Amino acid sequence: DSPPHAWIIPWLPHLDYRPSMLQNILPQAKRKVENSIIFLSSESSSKKYHSSVNDASDMAFFEAGLAVIRPWSGVLDKGVLHRIVLDCLVPRLARHLSRIEIKHEIGTKCDDNGGVWASVNLLFRLYDDGLLPSREFLSLVEGELLLRIAGIFHGWLVNRIIDVERAAELYVRWKLLFLSGAIDNTTSATLSQIALREDNIVCRIFYGCLLMIKAAANGSEKRDDNDDLTLDELEPALHEVTNYKIVQARRTKEDRMRDEENEMAGHSIDPTGSTNNNSTKAHTSSFHGKRGVTFKDVVEEVAQHNDIPFYPKIGPASTKDGKVIFILGEDQIYLDSNVVYVYRGTDWHATSLEKLVSSL
């Protein structure tokens, strides 16, 4: 069948004098777009899903989905388009990005036929075309790509799989790709790359990789507290306990805290997202200061987003090894170093937040 835009959009200029008809057509058009993407997803997932990053069915689905959505840019409200992308494309894209195999040659130019960067470029295009909100874009890059790259990069250096020279080369290539422009540096930065290099957390991850290279060059010896951090001290959080959804919840909490601080300080927030110097300082203070977002805040945000009760246990046996026990849904949990422990059977078991929430 013809896609919805092929037989609806050509008629819209002839209906602009009848608002009531447009009000009826556009909601139906939104449903048609969503149904088309759901159909494409079911068709591309008919075969057993596997973990290869070169999964042609994944990329075919993403490209077909974008072909259905793009014609409606400027017709449907941007918020409606964002919701369609977040509901219909992003969950599968996040899983796809999490399976990309990070290799020593990750920075080299890949062919267009399923190269590992085809998936990354697709994510960038979504943001550059205005189809993906900033917070979700940054959360996907941080949670499914950069944190995993940093962890693997650390492992390569610790196990001496790569030397310092190769590490520096990879760092430069990654930085060019994510923050500056093309690998050969012949093109200017895109909107997505500008957004990434203006993000504090993304810059910290790159700075952390730079410190890893320095630590590898200095060796593992640390003479006193004034020396640089060692490689062991620079080990990033495990990707298994930090992913897109958890990063998104943390960023949502940070944004909310920043907005509250701006309101209390009497600063208005520009619709474009820009703020004055004072509000920028408030953002920095809220992230680094005593009110910085904790893992408990992230769990609370995820629970609230999924309408799951979350509160501290009261009464006897309300702590475990000095840690407060919380009730999440019907489960008892406690938090330790960004890891969730849930009480099942007769013992406590470590689990990921995403897995726990999906089981409730």
The pLDDT value recorded for residue 126 is: 93
Task: Please give the chain's pLDDT, 360 residues, in tens.
Answer: 556 656 565 655 555 545 555 566 667 777 877 887 887 777 665 554 444 444 677 888 888 888 888 887 877 788 888 998 998 899 889 988 888 888 765 444 444 334 567 788 889 999 999 999 999 999 999 999 999 899 999 999 999 999 999 999 999 888 888 887 544 445 577 899 899 989 999 999 999 999 999 999 987 665 555 557 788 888 887 656 678 888 888 888 888 888 888 777 765 545 444 444 443 333 333 333 334 567 887 888 788 777 788 888 887 888 988 889 999 988 999 998 778 999 988 899 998 887 888 777
d(CA 217, CA 143): 28
The pLDDT value recorded for residue 291 is: 43
The stretches of 45-185 forming alpha helices (DSSP H) are 56-69, 78-88, 90-98, 116-128, 134-140, 147-158, 164-175
Question: How crowded is the C-beta side of 332, counted as CA atoms within 13 Å?
Answer: 15
Q: pTM above the 0.95 mark?
A: no
Contacts of residue 26, defined as CB under 8 A and 6 or more positions apart, other chains included, come to 75, 76
The pLDDT value recorded for residue 15 is: 54
The pLDDT value recorded for residue 276 is: 47
d(CA 185, CA 187): 6
Question: How crowded is the C-beta side of 315, counted as CA atoms within 13 Å?
Answer: 2
Per DSSP (E only), the strands in the chain are 310-312, 319-320, 323-328, 331-336, 339-344, 347-351
The pLDDT value recorded for residue 221 is: 60
123, 93 contact by CB (below 8 A): yes
The pLDDT value recorded for residue 293 is: 64
d(CA 351, CA 344): 11
Dihedral angle of Cα 355, 137, 233, 291, to the nearest 10 degrees: -90
Contacts of residue 11, defined as CB under 8 A and 6 or more positions apart, other chains included, come to none
149, 253 contact by CB (below 8 A): no
Q: Give the sign of the dihedral formed by CA 199, CA 204, CA 248, CA 54.
A: positive
